[in-house]
Amino acid sequence: MIKSVFLALTFLVILCPAAHAERPAGILLYFKAGTEVYLLLADHATPGSKDRGWGGFGGGPKNGESPAETAARETAEETRG
Q: What is the pLDDT of residues 37-55, one digit of tens each?
A: 999 888 877 777 777 788 8
In our burial notation (b when 16+ CB lie closer than 10 A, e otherwise), range 44-69 reads eeeeeeeeeeeebbbbebeeebebee
Lowest mean pLDDT among 31-40, 43-52, 70-79: 43-52
